[in-house]
Amino acid sequence: MVVKGFVRKGEYHDSVTLMRVAKFLSEQAGVSDSAIVMATEENKHVLSAAGLAFPEIRNAVETDLIMVVKVESADKAEDLLAEASRELKARNKNSEISYQPKSLDSALKILPTANFALISVAGRYAGDEAMKALQRGLHVMLFSDNVSIEKEIELKTYAASKDLLVMGPDAGTAIINGVPLAFANNVRRGNVGIVAASGTGLQEASTLISNYGAGISQAIGTGGRDVKEKVGGLMFLQAVKLLLDDPDTKVILLISKPPHESVLKKIIAAVKNTGKPVITTFLGSDPTPILKAGLIPTITLDEGAWKAARMVMGRSAAESVLEVNQDISRTRAQLDTTAAQLTSTLAKTQQYLRALYTGGTYVGETQVLLNGKIKNIFSNAPWGESKIALDSMKSQFNTIIDFGEDEFTVGRPHPMIDFSLRNRRILEEARDPETAVLLLDLVLGWGAHKDPLAELIPVLREAQTIAKTAGRQLPIVMCITGTDTDPQCRSRVVTAIKECGVIVVESNAGAAYLVGKIVQSVRQS
């Protein structure tokens, strides 16, 4: 047996801690005797009497700590003393739970196993915070906008080298491991993997897939700039690669405004001949190179979503394409009938479409669908033959407005949360005798308005009353993006909106088709 110990000068511990660690030490295997005490004269006598004294004790004073152990070997004693020292320092950090940390680093102290950072602070700080998160090995979703493209490239290049994801900047939506991030919906889990450079596009596709009965494996948002030449699709490509390797992803759906030619080439090169079916919804882009590469191009978000859903529900690619195309034709035939009925109620002055959107992707999709079909479209986010709206605040001819553009959002919340500007505009359009039909979107899910009906229904009713008082009928067409498991519950919202006499169409593309028909018929009659 050897007696080994040490004296720590001026190290003070309360007696409860000392007793706790003394108990710990005495319970260790092979310990024949031990002590952890402050070096008071009395304690020193006790140690001597117990045969636990060692030379250094003689000069120790009552403010010094003595730790001593009696075991069979010196090595064993060293180990035990080291272990007891660690035990002496062990702290329970649970008491921090109520504290809100002020920085990433202190958050990591509370949740050291964190693997993901969701960043939504102002753009001028967001880039630096994202870099800090990457440097600490976290994947990042960067919801914030106003991050420079140079910073975006720096972040994504760094992330790619560390095999980390950077979704964004300006990534509104993602669903990772079934967890909705930022503006996202509660959707079924399943086997469609989505990569999207467009937030609302991702919401539309993922909810349509879920409502169709299929589900999402992963939905990765990249931010709209990712597919531009400068960023070169850095994250889009990495996300595609991940989904190709992901065993839960059976079908891949790619969503974007048309990627830059060079980026498109890289995407095609990455996905062709991989054995996994790939569907693209590159709104408004030429389908030829995509078809040539053996991928499935689609024109609208609903078409892409439904084809993907059908494919993971047991149909072959060819069957899915055929059947969904038939379904869409059938639906459109019904919408033609609806359009005819609505047109017949319109007054002579009512000629134009007024589309007021909160989801940016819809503004693009609607113009893609109406391009060439109706003339004189003005928009604050024009596409194709549309002209730029001279004044976003005032409609002229057919007008399609994106309320998510800067002129509406500086200094106020996103229009999916704050309805006030669009609500005012709805009433203005109702007063305008030239308004033939009103097209609105309503996006549900996390991040969006928690109780949209309370604000929207009175406005819809008032709009109809305004028109009626002026001797007109005002058709209102809406697409409502969401699922029944969303906090707002889509079916409940749809029922309430329909009760106001509003026509709710399953998808934005369907809604756009319907209003297009109405405006076309008005011009013909």
Partner 1 sequence: MTGSQKLFESKLEIINIGLPDFTLPFQQHETKFVQVDFRPGLQANAGACAKALLQTSLTENANQEVMEKILAARPAWTGMGIARDLIPGMRENTILHAGPPISWDRMCGPMRGGIIGAIIYEGKANTPDEAEELAAGGVFEFRPCHEHNAVGPMAGIVSPSMPVFVVKNETHGNVAYATQNEGLGKVLRYGAYSDEVIARLKWMEQTLYPTLKGAIEKAGRIDLKNIIAQALHMGDEVHNRNRAATSLFYRALAPWVVETAKSREVAVEVLNFINGNDHFFLNLSMAASKATLQAAQGIENSSIVVTMARNGTDFGVQLAGTGGRWFTGPAPVPDALFFKGYTKDDANPDIGDSAITETAGLGGFAIAASPAIVQFVGGQAADAVNYTLQMYEITAAENNVYQIPGLDFRGTPTGIDVRKVIEKNILPFIDTGVAHKNPGIGQVGAGVLSAPAEPFVRAFEGLFG
181 in Cβ contact with 173 (< 8 Å)? yes
In angstroms, the CA 143 to CA 126 distance is 9
119 in Cβ contact with 140 (< 8 Å)? yes
With CB under 8 A as the contact rule, the residue among 164, 263, 293, 374 that binds partner 1 is 164
Question: Among residues 269, 270, 268, 265, which one has the least CA distance to residue 238?
Answer: 270
Residues 433-462 that bind partner 1 (CB under 8 A): 446-447
> Which one, 17 or 325, has the nearer CB to partner 1?
17
Residues 6+ apart with CB under 8 A from 525: 343
Residues 39-98 that bind partner 1 (CB under 8 A): 61, 63, 91-96, 98
With CB under 8 A as the contact rule, the residue among 33, 83, 154, 248 that binds partner 1 is 248
Is residue 122 involved in binding partner 1 (CB under 8 A)?
yes
Is residue 23 involved in binding partner 1 (CB under 8 A)?
no
In angstroms, the CA 375 to CA 358 distance is 23
Q: Helix 301-312 and helix 317-344: axis angle, to 10°?
A: 140
Question: Among residues 207, 158, 250, which one has the least CA distance to residue 445?
Answer: 207
In angstroms, the CA 311 to CA 308 distance is 5
With CB under 8 A as the contact rule, the residue among 35, 39, 165, 476 that binds partner 1 is 165
Residue 215's alpha-carbon distances to 210, 232, 379, 498, in angstroms, are 5, 29, 34, 27
Binding mask 91-110 for partner 1 (x = CB under 8 A): xxxxxx-xxxxxxxxxxx-x
In the complex, least distance from residue 165 CB atom to partner 1, rounded to whole angstroms: 6
In the complex, least distance from residue 113 CB atom to partner 1, rounded to whole angstroms: 5
In the complex, least distance from residue 218 CB atom to partner 1, rounded to whole angstroms: 6
User: Exposed, middle or buried by CB within 10 Å (0-12, 13-18, 19+), for 78?
Assistant: middle
Residues 6+ apart with CB under 8 A from 408: 392, 415, 421
In the complex, least distance from residue 419 CB atom to partner 1, rounded to whole angstroms: 16
In angstroms, the CA 162 to CA 139 distance is 10
Is residue 341 involved in binding partner 1 (CB under 8 A)?
no
Number of amino acids touching partner 1 (CB under 8 A):
69
Is residue 218 involved in binding partner 1 (CB under 8 A)?
yes
In the complex, least distance from residue 181 CB atom to partner 1, rounded to whole angstroms: 7
> Which one, 128 or 455, has the nearer CB to partner 1?
128
- Identify which range of 139-147, 225-233, 253-261, 272-280 contacts partner 1 by CB under 8 A: 139-147
With CB under 8 A as the contact rule, the residue among 72, 75, 150, 163 that binds partner 1 is 163
**Tokens 């990591």 -> residue:** 108
Q: Which residues bind partner 1 (CB under 8 A)?
A: 9-14, 17, 61, 63, 91-96, 98-108, 110-111, 113-122, 125-126, 129, 133, 137-139, 143-144, 162-165, 176-182, 184, 186, 218, 238, 242, 245-246, 248, 446-447, 487
